[in-house]
Amino acid sequence: MNDEAVRLSSRLAKIKPSATLAVTAALAEMRRQGKDVVDFGTGEPDFDTPEHIKAAAVRALGAGKTKYTPVTGTLELRQAVVAKLARDNGLSYEPDEIIASCGGKHSLLNAFLALFQEGDEVIVPAPYWVSYVDMLALADAKAVVVPTTEQDGFRMSAAALAAAIGPRTRAVILNSPANPTGSAYDADELRALGDVCLRYDLLVISDDVYERLTYDGFVQRHLLTVCPRLRPRTLVISSCSKTYAMTGWRLGYTAGPREVIAAMATIQGQSTSNPSSITQAAAVEALTGPQTCVDEMLVEFSRRRAYVLERLRAIRDVTVTAPRGAFYVLPSIGVFLGRRVGGRKIASATDLARYLLAEFGVAVVAGEDFAAPRNVRISYATSMELLEKGLDRLQHGLETVAAAA
């Protein structure tokens, strides 16, 4: 395209397409060519949305709930979010402290646009979810990355947070349980991090999208229940996507100080307006209806997680920390880098992921874009049958690389 009229904005130079979506695209192309590929790349539950939630959407359609709603969402939905925050997190909010948006991604972007500007810095513990850095860039802010290690369970210490704070630091993003590591903070760790935020006047963005997906008896305490003094400076962000297998419905929500919620409403009101009215009705049912569907999904995720860990631990030279939550594992594949196999140099996690996809038909996400260049991410939000098949392929692929020079 070389028409002078089509000149893209300089904003585009600040961001890149999502790494996870790039894997999905490569995989779709292979499938189009008729190849059999196992996908460990996608970050969404393979379960269908529970029937009672779908039924609520059908009822809403039948009742003609097909019009604009208030920009921040229907009162009924905001009351459902209030009820959810009280039930699951022990937090107390009013409906005018809530805004519903088109997915957790949209909630985060609106929050960043409302809060940050050129020169602002935001602390992001790494490995991080790919979109934080790009969304901050869209809001003209800069991510200050704080690395964590496998040995500390990929958790940022209060000391590391304090050391990263400079004169321009405005906020920290806490995502517990986290994508891509599955790491999650204890109450004591949250308290210590919270104290630093209070001492240095930081805002907190608490990304809770995986909060219900925890394992081995670990229960995620909310930052605001262990550190209530942070409430006036914290945005609690979550979504129906992961908990209720509703990724396609697009419903995220934010609870926070009234003035920030009002600012986000202004931005949303001049862009997307309300999230889909039908989705909102479904979300009311998801948040306040029977929660047994979540427990059922958890039982299955738990079984898969145990299987994946066992299989990965059986592969020589792969190390992996047991994640406390979400549905990802982030094994270290550093040992395999720098080798040459079948005429290809495996110099990076990306090279390894490409090799595994092309030669063994298994898609994993390379860690570079998560700031984890010696790891790959495996999502176990897929059936046991596919996990077995994909892990056989992964093992075969890694053993082939290990046997090479």
Ligand X SMILES: Cc1ncc(COP(=O)(O)O)c(C=O)c1O
Closer residue to ligand X in complex, CB, 279/395: 279
Please, which residues have CB within 8 angstroms of residue 135's CB and are 6 or more apart in sequence? 105, 108, 109, 112
Residues 343-402 that bind ligand X (CB under 6 A): none
- Asked if 213 and 243 count as a contact pair (C-beta separation under 8 A), the reply is yes
Q: Which residues pair with 203 in a beta bridge?
A: 171
Residue carrying the six token digits 């991090």: 193
Q: Which of 116, 129, 185, 244 binds ligand X (CB under 6 A)?
A: 129
Stretch that binds ligand X, among 33-41, 73-81, 97-105, 281-289 (CB under 6 A): 97-105
Please, which residues have CB within 8 angstroms of residue 364's CB and are 6 or more apart in sequence? 23, 40, 41, 353, 356, 357, 376, 377, 378, 394
Q: Which of 38, 40, 43, 85 binds ligand X (CB under 6 A)?
A: 43
The helix/strand count (H/E) of the chain reads as 13, 14
| Residue 105 lies near ligand X (rule: CB under 6 A) | yes
The backbone torsions φ and ψ at residue 362, rounded to the nearest 5 degrees and listed phi first, read -130, 130
| Residue 175 lies near ligand X (rule: CB under 6 A) | yes
For the CB of residue 33, give the shortest distance to ligand X in the complex, in Å.
27
Q: Where are any strands of DSSP class E within 200-284?
A: 203-207, 234-239, 252-255
For the CB of residue 114, give the shortest distance to ligand X in the complex, in Å.
17
| Residue 104 lies near ligand X (rule: CB under 6 A) | yes
| Residue 205 lies near ligand X (rule: CB under 6 A) | no
For the CB of residue 393, give the shortest distance to ligand X in the complex, in Å.
24
Please work out the total of residues on this chain that contact ligand X, with binding judged by CB under 6 A.
Answer: 13
Radius of gyration of the chain (CA): 21
Stretch that binds ligand X, among 86-94, 100-108, 302-310, 383-391 (CB under 6 A): 100-108
State how beta strands 203-207 and 234-239 pair: parallel
| Residue 206 lies near ligand X (rule: CB under 6 A) | no
Closer residue to ligand X in complex, CB, 105/305: 105
User: What is the x/- site pattern for ligand X, positions 229-248, by CB under 6 A?
Assistant: ----------x-x-----x-
| Residue 209 lies near ligand X (rule: CB under 6 A) | yes
For the CB of residue 239, give the shortest distance to ligand X in the complex, in Å.
3
Q: Which of 73, 182, 194, 252 binds ligand X (CB under 6 A)?
A: 252
CA dihedral (53, 59, 63, 66) positive or negative: positive
Residues listed for the chain: 405
- Asked if 179 and 130 count as a contact pair (C-beta separation under 8 A), the reply is no
Closer residue to ligand X in complex, CB, 255/401: 255
Stretch that binds ligand X, among 1-9, 103-111, 257-265, 268-276 (CB under 6 A): 103-111
Please, which residues have CB within 8 angstroms of residue 312's CB and are 6 or more apart in sequence? 318, 320, 329, 331, 378, 391
Closer residue to ligand X in complex, CB, 275/390: 275
| Residue 183 lies near ligand X (rule: CB under 6 A) | no
Please give the residue ranges that form the binding site for ligand X (CB under 6 A): 43, 103-105, 129, 175, 179, 207, 209, 239, 241, 247, 252
